[in-house]
Amino acid sequence: MKIAIVGVGNVGAALGARFSEAGHEVLFGVRATTDAYAARFGARVRPVSQAARDAEVVVLAVPGSVAVEAAGALGLREGQVLVDCTNPIRWSEGPVWAPPPEGSNASALAAAFPNVDVVKAFNQFGAETHADPAYGDRRADVFLASDSDEAKAKVSVLATSAGFEAVDAGKLRNAAVLENVAVLWIHLATVGGLGRAFVLARLSR
Ligand SMILES: NC(=O)c1ccc[n+]([C@@H]2O[C@H](COP(=O)([O-])OP(=O)(O)OC[C@H]3O[C@@H](n4cnc5c(N)ncnc54)[C@H](OP(=O)(O)O)[C@@H]3O)[C@@H](O)[C@H]2O)c1
């Protein structure tokens, strides 16, 4: 798949590396094409306005407070899949969910860009897991919420190819739930003292 990653910090860089290793064509969109980015990503760096041009899937991994603004600079096209990894979270003796009026960052993106299919995903664990989703013989679950089954299927294939376990979490309204899964993860990692080398797991029998 042709993938654009926008926001190339902890999450974006780790996911981009993971998707590249899985054989996908990845471009990294940055606000300023500095030497530092060129040294890290070589010829795959593009200005934000160009990174998403030919992408099937655009991964948004910017700070939660600028998600809509950052997506607005991408020139998103009809039918592209926008994967929202962001979390609208502030801090008050621990993480606090601080969603926009639309109900979640993903819903705000869907309202602002009705021509694309938004999938909430990859927001539920720390970036160390984006870099390496293996936990012994198990793989980290990635819960996916979207109103488009086709887009969810595409992101499931992408996640699976990169070593994650894709789990359908229902419609985009459940993005609010997934953003709160992130709140729980961050709480446990920080206030709860668990550190960052864990994921919340699904047990079946
Ligand atoms: N860190 C985690 O473990 C983790 C896990 C799951 C989800 N998340 C969520 O994922 C998102 C990214 O987290 P992160 O830790 O990767 O953040 P980060 O390391 O701070 O990286 C954010 C990136 O976004 C870029 N950026 C900021 N504003 C932008 C804009 N308007 N347009 C384009 N790019 C912009 C920054 O680029 P510049 O160099 O230009 O500033 C930077 O590369 C957040 O919403 C976070 O809540 C984080």
Task: Quote the pLDDT of residue 115.
Answer: 97
User: Would you state the pLDDT for residue 126?
Assistant: 98
Q: Is 4 in the pocket of ligand 1 (CB under 6 A)?
A: no
Under CATH, which architecture does the 2-189 domain have? 3-Layer(aba) Sandwich (3.40)
74 lines ligand 1 (CB under 6 A): no
pLDDT per residue as tens digits for the range 92-142: 999 999 999 999 999 999 999 999 999 999 999 999 999 999 999 999 999
Residue 33 has pLDDT above 90, yes or no: no
Q: Is the pLDDT of residue 90 over 90?
A: yes
Ligand 1 proximity of 162 Cβ (cutoff 6 Å): no
For residue 124, the CA-to-ligand 1 centroid distance in Å is 14
- Give the model confidence (pLDDT) of 34-65 as tens digits: 888 888 888 899 999 999 999 999 999 999 99
The model's confidence at residue 24, banded by pLDDT at 50, 70 and 90, is: very high
Question: Is 7 a pocket residue for ligand 1 (Cβ < 6 Å)?
Answer: yes
* Nearest alpha carbon to residue 6 among 65, 77, 54, 71: 71
DSSP per-residue codes, 83-120: EE----EEESSSEEE---TTSSHHHHHHHH-TTSEEEE
For atom 19 of ligand 1, the residue with the nearest CA is: 9
9 Cβ inside 6 Å of ligand 1? yes
Answer whether 0.75 is exceeded by the pTM.
yes
For ligand 1, the distance from its centroid to the CA atom of residue 8, given in whole angstroms, is: 7
Mutate which of 11, 74, 184, 196 for ligand 1 pocket (most atoms within 8 A of beta carbon): 11
Domain ranges for the chain? 2-189
- Tens digit of pLDDT for each residue in 57-89? 999 999 999 999 999 999 999 999 999 999 999
Give residue 59's pLDDT.
Answer: 98
pLDDT per residue as tens digits for the range 131-187: 999 999 999 999 999 999 999 999 999 999 999 999 999 999 999 999 999 999 999
Q: Among positive and negative, which fits the CA dihedral 193, 65, 111, 81?
A: negative
- Nearest residue CA, atom 15 of ligand 1? 10
Mean pLDDT along residues 26-36: 91
- Decide if 113 contacts 88 (C-beta within 8 A): no
